[in-house]
Amino acid sequence: MIDTATLIKGALVGVAGTLLLDVWALFLARVWNVPGTNWAMVGRWLGNIPRGKFHHASMSAAKPVKGELAIGWIAHYAIGIGYGLLLLALCGSAWLAESTILPPLVLSWVLLSAPYFVMMPGMGMGFAGSKTPNPTVTRFKSVAAHSVFGLGMYLAAEALAHLWPTAL
């Protein structure tokens, strides 16, 4: 049974990973003009799912959803929290006390299956971005982003080990 403190730590690990991912995206946008994820379009995609529309040829042509930007951002952080909790479910709370980088990196790479095979096809970008203007760049950006997310989860666990130690 996982205690409340461990659940909170798992959520914080996910939030921290997501925050580092967002800082990375901001850095890429400001320094190299690399566009980040359009969270309004993610919100539009998610907002159309209850309407029975799971796949779109183009998100910009899809029916707009009220609050789609907020939906996209909330989903982004909720997914990050879920991934942080999944990491602890797989590794156990002992990982928080003696974290290593490999588990969050491997998990973040395995979780590439979600955008590659669910989100991208649903948003009209094809499997693993195959219908984007440059699929190789799309895939590389996803791998890099997920790697940064995994690194953020590891760094959060390291910080928590010092700021809020987990008893073994």
User: Which residue in this structure is represented by tokens 């971005």?
Assistant: 129
Mean pLDDT by 10 residues, the chain (168 residues): 91 98 98 96 98 96 97 98 97 94 98 97 98 96 98 98 86
* Residue 40 tokens, joined: 């309004």
CA pair distance 46, 49, nearest whole angstrom: 5
Reading phi first (left if > 0) and then psi (alpha if -120 to 50, else beta), residue 92 is in left
Structural domain count of the chain: 1
- 158 assigned to some structural domain: yes
Please report whether residue 168 resides in a domain: no
Whether residue 167 lies inside any domain: the answer is: no
* Listed residue (68, 71, 120, 89) closest to 13, CA to CA: 89
CA distance 154 to 101: 6
1 burial type by CB count under 10 A (0-12 exposed, 13-18 middle, 19+ buried): exposed
- Domain of 57, in residue numbers: 4-162
Domain-located, residue 69? yes
pLDDT at 168: 65
Single-letter residue type at 127: F
What are the residues whose beta carbons fall under 8 Å from the beta carbon of 29, sequence distance 6 or more? 35, 36
Length of the chain: 168
126 and 120 Cβ atoms separated by less than 8 Å: yes
CA distance 6 to 23: 25
Cβ atoms of 10 and 85 within 8 Å: the answer is yes
Neighbour tally for 64: CB within 10 Å: 12
Token representation of residue 131: 């219908």
